A and B are shown apart, each in its own frame.
Chain A
Amino acid sequence: MTSKRIKILLLLVGLAVLCAVPLFINDPTILHIFIYTFFFAYFAAAWNVVGSYAGQPSLGHAIFFGIGGYTSTILFINYGITPWLGMFVGAILAALAALALGFPTFRVRGPFFAFITLAFTLLISLLFIYFHEYTGGATGLPVPLKGDEPLLFQFNSKAPYYYTILAFFIVIMFVTYKVEKSKFGYYLLAIREDEDAAKAVGIHVFKYKMIAAALSAFLTAFLGTFYAQYTRFIDPHEAFGLWRTFQPMLISVLGGYGLWGPLVGAAILTPINESIIIIFGGRYATFGMMLYGLAVMLIMLFMPKGIVGILKRVYTHFRS
């Protein structure tokens, strides 16, 4: 068998195992850890399109997350539109927001880009608190409970949520894989490596940054809806808070660059963090977060290529 076939086989086996997880695990807390792992992996993967491939360190993705979560929830509360549809409305709005934000922000580079997107996140957060007639202000919006209604994106058990986020995750892996292998992906890489050189060889830098931003925002908004439906709640702190703002970047950095980085980063840190909370109680949530911060500092200092980088090094070490 060729190595390509082995890879596909491994992928299919992995998928089958992941699909079978809820058949063997009934414990909701363990399923919750699985759900959050894919949740964070998805977030980082969606961010990666702009953050890693195009090399634009966005701190504005919380905006798209929030737009997704708020749009589907507001449409559901006021017009009874199912979040399955509201999710797409939110995604389109988020993509439009990304284009509107990209127009000024893509003029600045590197750390300045990070700061200007951060400024927009803070600004949008204030606006969501101010227009409280629509958004519920600082207290946020609860998603009205309808019981076990699959058509309304509400389930009483964890397993359907697990399959939903797993499906999301498979979609995003497929999309990022396609981006990575496409001409568009190579344009983004060129922009990441040297913007001026990319411009010099005739790549329309601004246009491709905008496309990347719109795609990334579109995908991020889905996660916002998922979050609102899963926790049945959305508020400015969860949507636009500092932690949400930095989350995708930090997971991506921890995992490492590339297609598998987000999953590796999320798969190692989320279970540690969530099991600390489950085993020791809510007070230890801050302890888990403390470790998270420490992990980011250590990775930056000693392993800038992330966990994927370490795994690769170990792998080549044993092969030779």
Chain B
Amino acid sequence: MSSELTAQILVQGLMIGGIYALAATGLTLIAGVMNIINIAHGELMMLAMYTTYFLYTIFGVDPLLSVFVTLPLFFVIGCFLQRFCIERLLTGPPMSVIIFAAGLLFFAQNFAAFWWTQDFKVLRGYATLTFDFMGLKFTTTRLAILFAAILVTVLLYIFLSKTRMGRAIRATSQNIESAALMGVNVKRVRVIAFGLGVALAGLAGSLLIPVYYLYPAVGTPFSVMALIVVFLGGMGSVFGALIGGLALGIIEAFTGFYLALELKDIAAFIAFIIILLVRPWGLFGRKE
């Protein structure tokens, strides 16, 4: 096969991968700090997508500007969830958080279906343009999302390595007892980290709306893919999430092309199973 075709599939994969990476950064931050997976992450993205949609249709707010609403709003939602719900589940059996999040998943999905119906909604804020560059086809909106994913990763990395709070978060995810002994308020760190993770889900939701049809179950594939990316990249590894997301996008693009479009996710699921069996701490994560 021609190298041009390979390159085009690669570009396609990278653009999808950007979406997965964006969806996974918030999840991996939470996973690193608390060793838990919020399987309702995609559902929070879905709620952010609806928020963005209604901000545009009711108040005429540009989807890109609505980030300034969804980011703080979902930060607060996340802080509340952690402070009043997740915190008390952390001491329980390890499955508690997952079951709670499953409840949240079905609650959020059916909440959306009940109030806003199952109909598909489309937000026509941005025209999706395709342009050619060096003989390859690019989609403007998807390319923007890829850059956004990289930008978010870099900003998050700077936050985690340069600020006091960021260092406290990293210390907590490395060793909770030592962090507490060094004077880190672990409980507060967890609230901020969860808030930040959910805020990133909100951000992802706002940014993804020009690319996706909106319906109540739109979040589930994001939850699944973000979960796989987090395990691929290693729980808590921010750059791991970016690389894992891009890798997953590329894998998916190639399997979709060579096997069948229906099977495009199959390689991702098999990779997930192998990772869980062989390296559950991820490709870039640390073994506990």
Q: Give B166 Cβ to nearest chain A Cβ, in Å.
A: 26
Knowing A108-B277, A116-B277, A126-B269, say if A57 contacts B106 (CB, 8 Å).
no
Q: Which residues of A contact B95 (CB under 8 A)?
A: 57, 110-111, 114
B260: CB under 8 A from chain A?
yes
Give how many B residues have a beta carbon under 8 Å from the other chain's beta carbons: 43
CA distance A5 to B110 in the complex (A): 46
For window 275-317 of chain A, which residues contact chain B by CB distance below 8 Å?
A: 283-284, 286-287, 289-290, 292-297, 300-301, 304
Are A111 and B98 touching (Cβ within 8 A)?
yes
B89–A104 CB distance below 8 A: no
A229 to B103, CA, bound (A): 29
Listed by A's residue number, 27 A-B pairs whose Cβ atoms lie within 8 Å are A104-B277, A111-B98, A112-B276, A114-B95, A116-B273, A119-B273, A122-B265, A123-B266, A129-B262, A130-B260, A130-B262, A246-B102, A249-B102, A253-B99, A287-B110, A289-B106, A289-B109, A290-B106, A290-B110, A292-B107, A293-B107, A297-B103, A297-B104, A297-B107, A300-B96, A301-B89, A304-B92
Q: A293–B262 contact, CB under 8 A?
A: no
Q: 20 additional contacts, CB 8 Å, given A120-B273, A246-B106?
A: A108-B280, A110-B94, A111-B36, A115-B227, A116-B277, A119-B228, A122-B224, A126-B263, A126-B265, A127-B266, A130-B263, A249-B99, A250-B99, A286-B110, A286-B216, A293-B106, A293-B107, A296-B103, A297-B104, A304-B96
Is B37 located at the chain interface by the 8 A CB criterion? yes
A242 at the interface (CB under 8 A from B): yes
Task: Pick from B85, B110, B260: contact of A293, CB below 8 A.
Answer: B110
Q: For residue A186, which residues in chain B have a CB less than 8 angstroms away from its CB?
A: none
The answer to whether A296 and B99 touch (CB under 8 A), given A126-B265, A130-B260, A287-B114, is: yes
Is A107 at the interface (CB under 8 A from chain B)?
yes
Q: Is A243 an interface residue (CB 8 A)?
A: yes
- In the bound complex, residues from chain B placing their C-beta under 8 Å from that of A249 are 99, 102
Closest B residue by C-beta to A302: B88
Contacts of A296 in B (CB 8 A): 99-100, 102-103, 106-107
Contacts of B253-267 to chain A: CB distance below 8 A: 260, 262-263, 265-266
CB distance from A237 to the nearest CB of B (A): 10
Bound state CA distance, A116 and B231, in angstroms? 11
Distance (whole angstroms) from the CB of B112 to the closest CB of chain A: 9
Q: Which residues of chain A are near B94, meaning CB under 8 Å? A: 110-111
Residues of B at the A interface (CB closer than 8 Å) are 36-37, 85, 88-89, 92, 94-96, 98-100, 102-111, 113-114, 118, 216, 220, 224, 227-228, 231, 260, 262-263, 265-266, 269-270, 272-273, 276-277, 280
In the bound complex, how far is the Cα of B118 from the Cα of A293, in angstroms?
18
Q: Given the complex, which residues of B lie within 8 Å of A110, measured CB to CB?
A: 94-95
Shortest C-beta distance, B273 to chain A (Å), equals: 5
Q: Closest approach, in angstroms, between the C-beta of A209 and any C-beta of chain B?
A: 16
The chain A residue sitting closest to B271, CB to CB, is A119
Please, which residues of chain A bring their CB within 8 A of the CB of B108?
Answer: 293
Contacts of B106 in A (CB 8 A): 243, 246, 289-290, 292-293, 296
**A297 proximity list for chain B (CB < 8 A):** 85, 100, 103-104, 107
> How far is the CB of B212 from the nearest CB of chain A, in Å?
18
Q: Is the CB of A123 within 8 A of B110?
A: no
Query: Hey, which chain A residues are within 8 Å of B266, CB to CB?
Result: 123, 126-127
A283-B270 Cα distance, complex, nearest whole Å: 37
Residues of A within 8 A of B109 (CB): 289, 293
Residues of A within 8 A of B118 (CB): 286
B277 partner, pick from A107, A290, A293, beta carbons under 8 A: A107
Please measure, in the bound complex, the distance between the C-alpha atom of A297 and the C-alpha atom of B104, giving whole angstroms. Answer: 7
**Chain B: CB-nearest residue to A289:** B110
**By the criterion CB–CB under 8 Å, are A123 and B277 in contact?**
no
CA distance A96 to B118 in the complex (A): 38
Give the complex CA separation of A166 and B99 in angstroms: 29
A294–B269 touching, CB < 8 Å: no
State in angstroms the CA–CA spacing of A309 and B227 once bound together: 33
For A242, the chain B residues whose CB sits under 8 A away are 105, 220
- Give the complex CA separation of A213 and B88 in angstroms: 31
B100 & A301 in contact (Cβ 8 Å cutoff): yes
> A294 contacts which of B103, B224, B265 (Cβ < 8 Å)?
B103
Contact B276 A300 (CB under 8 A): no
Report A163 CB to chain B, min CB distance, Å: 31
Residue of A nearest to B223 (CB): A242
- B104 CB, nearest partner CB in chain A, Å: 6
Q: Which residue on chain B has the smallest CB distance to residue A130?
A: B262
- 5 smallest CB-CB distances across A and B, nearest first, come from A296-B103, A293-B107, A293-B106, A297-B103, A290-B110
